[in-house]
Structure 1
Amino acid sequence: MTTSLHRASTHACRTLPGIILLATLTLASPSASAGGQPLPPPPAPPASTSPTAAATAGAVADPPRDSRPQRQSARTQSPARPPAATPASPDQPITDPVIAALALAPRSPQGVPLSIEECVQRALASNFNLRIQRYTTESVRENLPIAESTFSPQLTASTAYGEARNTSSSTGNSTKNNGNDTRLAVSQKISTGATASLSGSLNRNHTNPWPTSTNSRYNSIYNSDVALSISQPLLKGAGREVNLAGINRARLGNDIAELDFTGAVLAVVRDVESAYYNLLYARGLLGVREFSLKVAERLLDENKSRLEAGVGTELEVLQAEVTLANSRRDILDAEQIVSNREDTLVALFGDQPGGMEVGALTLPDAAIPEVTIDRSYKLALDNFPEYRAILLSIRQARLDVTTAASNKRPGLALGGALGYNADDDSYTDAARRTFNGDRYDWQVDLTLTFPWGMKAERAQYRQSVLALTREQTRLNQLEQNLRVQVRAAVRAVDTNRESVRIATLATKLSERQYEFEKARYDSGLTTFRRVQESQEDLDTARVNELQSRINLRLALCELSRLEASSLSRYNIAVIEPATNGNGRNGK
């Protein structure tokens, strides 16, 4: 009995390299199973597997430091069978489920191979959320020329013609007057709040018959008039800060719109990364289920052979049939998950689900960085678009408070005007004599406007102060939320990094336990139920390892969004705000 157990254990160790995930990068043919039937060969890596992917595979595996596989091109990997006595040798099959997922061939040969960088580029070009945000940003940009138009010159031109007839009740005589008036004026608002106007007019007045009582020597009188006027507010609406507030507010609004667009870009990049890694997980899960199905088929055949040989039972055959049916059901569920994840990824490209088939995927060749809460929090405060946008919103609110405070004052305006005019028998002569100094007038005026009670102005000022306080409170809230999210993301990275290490060990242990139970069952030392339980434990361990690796990547995605480091990683160029949004309380 001791010798038989020793042989069974030796056989289990000999077949260990072949009992791995169906979706693994295997460099040698699998060994024969304990029952004498060959194991189903795992699928070969697709032709699109790049040297970078192979290098990543070597980098993610966790062998001892002194025997870590060296990075090498996929074209130079040796197909020789790895020695069983050196489990950490460079030629050892890679059992990392995530790396294995990239070796899964697409379900359709027409599928488009995609790297995560290509997915990000597709999403940036056509994602619906980004397209909508672009329109919003362009619309906000138009607020600046609208605000600047306040200081654009206003040109006014008018002309009029009229007639009048008067009949004397005492004499019965009637006179008829006709004339025309042409005016041209231009006005300009100045940044101090003053308004300057320059106007000129030419008019003609003709009376028929000519009245004998008039002292004029002309029957048709032509008049030319030129006037310059200026009005400067002294209280309400006075000063450059108040009058330029609309333009400065529009510029800040442009910067806020740019930051909102940057935030949308970061969100889309995070969504693409999540969808990509979730699809990797779904395909890896499908690979686990396919391997379990082939194992279940093989065990069913073995149990039928044992029943025919008289060493098995019908109950064991029935158990194997139920296990096979459950495996087929798991395959259907896994295929549904893969299809749903593919649709999610394709939808982020702006394409219709089903309009594009996703081919082979690759895993980025990037080491997991060391992260700290303090560093990540500082990066978030410096770069997170929403935080910088609130700082600019506070500056907008301060401008509103300044404007509302000015509007609480009474309206007091100092004005002045100077005009020249002349009469003659033609338009040309009248215009030429306008500035002779014979006829002129000027005035200086002071106008006071005081709304009774000023209820509206005071209410608007209180609203502006409340809006400023609200934005400052939002800033404090966002600082708190950022700290919570950054701390959670950093902890998630650290936790999932350790989870990957533990899950990898658990998978290796479950593989050995499964082989051990299978060898004992082949030797008649245990029941088929124990083999089923060990297979279920192995499937669970593989899924857990796959999930932990995906969770680690997802945690890094969220942390990159908070730090805004995704922009540099994918070389995404965005427009930096013209105004400085990095200042506490928006100062």
Structure 2
Amino acid sequence: MNNARQMMNARRLFCASICVAIVFSIGCQNELFSREEEISGPPTSTKDIGAFDPAANSDIAPKSLDDAVAEATAKGFIPPTYPTRSQISVAQVRSSALANNLDLRVVQFDPAIGVTAIDKELAKFEAVLNGAYTKNTTGVLTQLEEGSPTDSSSANLGVSVPLATGGTVTAGTLFNQFDTQSILAPGISPYQAGMQASISQPLLQGAGIRTNTASIRIAKYQGRIIDSRTKLQAIRILADAEKAYWNLYRASKQLEVRIRQYDVASTQLAQARRRVEQGLAPEIEVMRAESGMGATLEQVIITDNVLRLRQRDLKRFMNDPRLPVDSPTAIEPTTSAEPVSLRFDDQKLVADAMSGRMELLELELQLLVDAEQIDLARNAALPNFVVGYQYQFLGDDSSLGSAYGAMGDADGAIFTATATVPLGNEAAKSVISRTILTRLQRLASREARRQAITQEVLNAADTVENTWRRILAARLESVLAGRTFDGEKRQFDVGLRTSTDVLDAAARLADAQSREVDALAGYEISLIDLAFATGTTLGSSGIVLPDSINPASVR
């Protein structure tokens, strides 16, 4: 009786110790998830909003408007100059953007990511090595109470090979050790060991090579979708880089026009002063020339600022180490606009766009993915019926080695068949309906996409032709404005016109020349837009994109 009571108290103490240990471990774990715990990261605060003081950040002392005007009047206006220049052609822009553009570097990772998805799906048929060990031990107190151990252990090691049909084949070895007197004679530690092989195969749901390889085909389709998006992004980046070049060309030429206009105003002021000194014109003529000269300053300042912005745009697209965005070096475009009269076959352009636009290729690939998804959804709606067979080639003896040597003495075979049939199956039916409706929706969007591309191509072709007409009109306007300006100067020299008339004619000439420059740059940009609309880049030869990142190189 005393022994039984002591044994019961020992069990209670053992159980209480386990409970205390569990509670203590839970309490320690909570300290790992404290709300106030600090984490590593950038030191920038996410709550405080800093203040920017323009005067404090200025490199020069702030100056009032009156003081600045007085100083500018005393010194006179100095046209903007760029001491350091770098000559760049449009071919160099294209080459530099292709090699260095940061946005293009980013999209080059996408195909590599797509390859990893394909590799993952291919790897699902790789063989798997399985191993397990189990030790079955009764409680320590129970063993002491019974006075003898009652343990058993088992282990197995095998290889499982997934089949393309949906089944699994497994082959391996196993052993069991029984250490109990209730099974065999006292003093004997029997072993059971041998080889086993099994196969399981679904017959309806999840069965078939096409069903089990559908995920591989989907991954490959999606990989091509990623490739098409990467190509589209590359074409867009190159087109934007070329547009940035021609925008710089426009700003550069327009600044030249405005500086010439300023030089004309300066010359007119000198002539007006000379005529006043000679007594050939009243004093107000100088005032008129000074007023006209001041009116040209704003155009020079505005155009110069636009030029600086366009230079930074082009530097960003090129990402040339020799011309960083913050570089003071000015870019001087060397490729000039050379417009020619063109006429396009609209139907051929549209046909080229339908075969070359990556958006349509992506849509066609997505339709193939939808078809695979529909087949998978229909297969998933079938009943789940799986058959299996296992054969064990076993032997048993008093030691592990002799048990393996006695294989064949205790063979066994197991056949299994399981079935799961949903009643109603509404969930699977709704999935089928959703996949079919998604494909029908995409088919409708394909027609809308084709219509949008057709419109884009036709609009781009019309823009090229209309820009050509703008160039002709602007050139004619420039010629006539130049003649008018020359006439006004001759009339001023004989005293029949004032400085205001001459400067007005000079302003109209500058405006006409500026519109001509705008039309020339617009013509080149319209050709870029037309090439983009057909899924190509401008030029006589194609472009090969750089190789994507190798996924294995980052492991």
Contact map agreement 1:226 1:421 (CA 8 A) in 2:
yes
Q: Per-residue deviation at 1:261?
A: 1.1
Q: CA RMSD in A?
A: 2.8
User: Contact 2:268–2:499 at 8 Å: present in 1 too?
Assistant: no
CA contact (8 A) 1:567 1:573 kept: no
Deviations along 1:230-268, one digit per CA (max 9) or x if unpaired, are 222222112222211111111111111111111111111
In structure 2, the CA distance between the partners of 1:556 and 1:165, relative to structure 1 (3 Å rule), is closer
Q: Does 1:463 align with 2:438?
A: no
Equivalence for 1:512: 483
* One-letter amino acid matched to 1:119: V
> Which residue pairs with 1:401 in the alignment?
374
Aligned twin of 1:129 = 103
Alignment of 1:49-64 (within 5 A): none
- What are the equivalent positions in structure 2 for 1:210-359 lying under 5 Å apart? 214=184, 219-350=188-319, 353-355=325-327, 357-359=329-331
Q: What is the distance in 2 between the residues matched to 1:401 and 1:218?
A: 64
Distance in 2 (alpha carbons) for counterparts of 1:576 and 1:305: 68
Aligned-partner residue type, residue 406 of structure 2: R
Aligned counterpart, 2:412: 441
Q: 2:326, 2:446 → 1: CA distance?
A: 43
Deviation at 1:174, TM superposition (A): 4.8
Distance in 2, matches of 1:123 and 1:253, equals 27
Deviation of the 1:455 alpha carbon: 3.3
Change (3 A) 1:173 1:479: closer
Aligned partner of 2:395: which letter? A
The aligned runs of 1:77-96 (5 Å cut-off) are none
Partner of 1:157: 131
Determine the C-alpha separation between the residues in 1 that align with 2:547 and 2:317: 25
Please list the CA deviations of residues 500-555 of structure 1 after superposition, one character each: whole Å capped at 9, or x if unmatched. 22322221222122212222232334444432332222112101111111111011
**One-letter amino acid matched to 1:478:** R
Are 1:218 and 1:425, in contact at CA under 8 Å, matched by a contact in 2? no
Count of residues in correspondence between the two structures: 464
Question: Residue in 1 aligned with 2:25?
Answer: none
The correspondence for 2:120, drawn from 146, 155, 180, is 146
Change (3 A) 1:275 1:166: closer
1:377 aligns with 2:350: yes
CA deviations 1:417-453 (Å, max 9, x no partner) are 222211122222222332x3x4322243332112343
Q: Which residue of 1 aligns with 2:90?
A: 116
Which residue in the other structure is 1:182 paired with?
155
TM-score (norm 2): 0.77
In 2: Cα distance, 1:529 partner to 1:364 partner = 34
For residues 429 and 313 of structure 1, what CA distance do their matches in structure 2 show?
A: 131
Identity of aligned residues (%): 22
User: CA 1:444–1:180 in structure 2 vs 1: closer, same or farther (change >3 Å)?
Assistant: closer
- C-alpha displacement of 1:180: 2.5
Please tell me whether residue 426 in structure 1 is matched to residue 395 in structure 2.
no
| Secondary structure of the structure 1 residue equivalent to 2:108 | helix
Structure 2 CA distance, aligned partners of 1:235 and 1:364?
69
Q: How much does 1:487 deviate?
A: 0.5
Q: TM-score, normalised by structure 1?
A: 0.73
In structure 1, C-alpha distance between the alignment counterparts of 2:337 and 2:304, rounded to whole Å: 27
The CA distance in 1 between the partners of 2:263 and 2:106, in whole Å, is 48
Q: CA deviation at 1:568?
A: 6.5
Residue identity matched to 2:259: E
One of 360, 383, 403 as aligned partner of 1:410 = 383
AA aligned to 1:132 is: V
Change (3 A) 1:154 1:306: same
How is 1:472-551 mapped onto 2 (pairs within 5 angstroms)?
Answer: 472-551=443-522
- What is the SS of the residue equivalent to 1:237? coil
Taking the aligned partners of 2:540 and 2:328, their CA distance within structure 1 comes to 26
Distance 1:127 1:452 in 2: 58
Which amino acid in structure 2 is aligned with residue 419 of structure 1?
Q
Tell me the SS of whatever aligns to 1:439: coil
Quick check: 2:311–2:331 contact (8 Å CA) kept in 1? Answer: no
How far 1:379 sits from its partner (Å)? 1.7
Does the aligned pair in 1 maintain the 2:367–2:443 contact within 8 Å?
yes
Equivalent-residue separation in structure 1 for 2:248 and 2:538 (angstroms)? 23
Can you list the C-alpha shifts for 1:270-306, whole angstroms capped at 9, x where unaligned? 1111110011110100000010001001111111222
SS of residue matched to 2:173: strand
1:133 partner letter? V
